[in-house]
Structure 1
Amino acid sequence: MELIIYLAIGAIAGFAAGLFGVGGGLIIVPILYVVFTQQGYDPAVIMHLALGTSLATIMVTSISSVMAHQKRGAILWSVFKNLAPGLVVGAFLGAAIADKLPSAVLQLIIGLFACWVAYRMFKGAQQAQSISQQLPSTGKQLFAGTGIGIASAIFGIGGGSLTVPYLSKNGVVMQKAVATSAACGLPIAIAGALGFMVFGRSQAIAMPHTIGYVHLYAFIGISVMSFITAKFGAKVAHALSPAKLKKCFAVMLLCIGTYFIVQAAQAML
């Protein structure tokens, strides 16, 4: 039953990764939080375990999603090269920061962040894309990548929730923003997962089937299925209009954000 649950999570997360360029983390984290809670893990580290495992699975999901988007020539590799160094450094630092934060605080931060991004994306869907907008200089992109990397590790995501709005705001067509975001998810996931393994190693002794804050069985089950379904999500992404894609993205984020805010409020009361 446990394996079936992880496979189901992977199927949903993989499709979301291809569709929204988010790496599936915004779906994986809340579901894993519920699953790990039911399995009786220490409440103090459940959120950390969900975040670390999410980032580990995104390593595999991103590869599948990138392959699908690359076939359509939608990835802006020049932008990826500018963002990647900052993403790597930021993601590792983000894991270190997350390790020091209480579970309830992480839930509240993630919930508020998701709702804020949902609002920004839904508002942006009502506005026409400005073709006059251009991406910032290489240095500013590197700086932005660092910030995205830090936040992504704390949120256990592939960075799509930040990378997609960042690129879209700077004149990149939504489909290309999603595709490039999928590529950016790989360095974030690798650096972030390694960080959670390193900083959570003191907790690993008390948790079976884990390396630091990464649950091995969940990682394998989710990764296998998400690799298969990510290509279908990417196919749907290219069939939808940019406005519809933004609205779908916003609705998903709003649901996840509300869930975590409620969980954080209950934990703090």
Structure 2
Amino acid sequence: MNELLILIPILLISGMIAGLLAGLLGVGGGIVIVPMLYHIFIYLNIDISIAMPLAIGTSLSTIVVTSIMSARSHHKKGGIDWDLVKVWLPFVIIGVFIGAFSANFIDGVTLKVMFGVLLLVISVHMIISIRRSLVIAKQLPSFPGQSIFATLIGTFSSILGIGGGTLMVPLLTLFSYPIHKAVGTASLFGLVISIPATLGYIFIGWDVPNLPTGSTGYVNWLGFIALVPMTMVFAPLGVKLAYFLNVKQLKTAFAIFLALVGIKMLLV
């Protein structure tokens, strides 16, 4: 009971913050939710070998719901590139299964380091993109290159619990892909990635002892129940705030924050 009294309010606040940042800055929920959950679980004296995969699995479970809502909205507005989906879909799925299988052999400390590196990379990309447009080509590479990109996105997204948008949107825009199409298409792939990846984290954590209350494998349903409604309520508010606040300054501050969190996850 004491654990629940501490955990639920913190999760509700975390969902509120994740939703606001997702709407305000256009960042994927997983990139915020995973480090938040990790530090919450560590605060509750959960061992790092459990805390990190539990944070990732729980994050993936929330992405299932939020990506359904997002993909439906983008589809109604014609924001999903179905031709790209047809090409990338089988390779993203292959990547998801590679990632889910690989996660069974990656310990919590390694996952923490990988996520710390990811935060640093995203931070650097965000700071650079604020100041100038990052484009390396006028169109996407040929089929072999796209198949490699799709497989890698599926693999790392499923391992790290971030859905598709965190990696897919920056990658597509590097090749002059329209940003709105990139966001809309990535929302659909968030669903494609999160469902099997969530099941994978449930499976690999099924017999793990000392999981916190309300967990099935590496998915904590208390976290799911608290985070999903809060992110869905506060994300639209974040979008509205974006029209009144200086988003460039906020993105810079958030990029610095991500870098600091990334460094902390690498060092501690």
Scaled to the shorter chain, the TM-score interval is 0.7 to 0.9
Q: What does 1:220-235 correspond to in 2, within 5 Å? A: 220-233=225-238
Query: Could you report, residue by residue, the CA deviation over 1:9-54 in whole angstroms, capped at 9, with x for unpaired residues?
Result: 2233234445556540111011111211222322221001001100
> Aligned residue for 2:100?
95
Q: Is the 8 A contact 2:58 2:224 kept in 1?
A: yes
- Cα distance in 2, alignment partners of residues 194 and 155 from structure 1: 14
Q: Which amino acid aligns with 2:160?
A: F
- Cα distance in 1, alignment partners of residues 165 and 25 from structure 2: 7
Q: Which amino acid aligns with 2:265?
A: Q
> Aligned residue for 2:125?
120
From 79, 90, 101, the counterpart of 2:84: 79
- Cα distance in 2, alignment partners of residues 18 and 30 from structure 1: 18
Q: Which moved more, 1:215-224 or 1:17-26?
A: 17-26
From 168, 171, 195, the counterpart of 1:190: 195
Q: Is the 8 A contact 1:65 1:231 kept in 2?
A: no
Query: Could you report, residue by residue, the CA deviation over 1:175-200 in whole angstroms, capped at 9, with x for unpaired residues?
Result: 33222222221111112111111111
1:256–1:162 CA distance, 2 compared to 1 (3 A): same
Give, in angstroms, the shift of residue 215 of structure 1.
0.5
1:149–1:17 CA distance, 2 compared to 1 (3 A): farther
> Aligned residue for 1:259?
261
Q: Is the 8 A contact 1:52 1:213 kept in 2?
A: yes
> Aligned residue for 1:47?
52
Q: Which moved more, 1:44-53 or 1:254-263?
A: 254-263
Q: Which amino acid aligns with 2:264?
A: V
> Aligned residue for 2:11?
6
Give, in angstroms, the shift of residue 79 of structure 1.
1.9
1:127–1:3 CA distance, 2 compared to 1 (3 A): same
C-alpha RMSD of the superposition: 2.9
- Cα distance in 1, alignment partners of residues 188 and 239 from structure 2: 12
From 173, 181, 184, the counterpart of 1:176: 181
Q: Is the 8 A contact 2:28 2:165 kept in 1?
A: yes
In structure 2, runs of 5+ residues without a counterpart are none
Q: Which moved more, 1:167-176 or 1:256-265?
A: 256-265
Q: Which moved more, 1:52-61 or 1:84-93?
A: 84-93
> Aligned residue for 1:151?
156
- Cα distance in 2, alignment partners of residues 19 and 63 from structure 1: 20
1:181–1:233 CA distance, 2 compared to 1 (3 A): farther
> What percent identity do the matched residue pairs reach?
35
The aligned length equals: 261
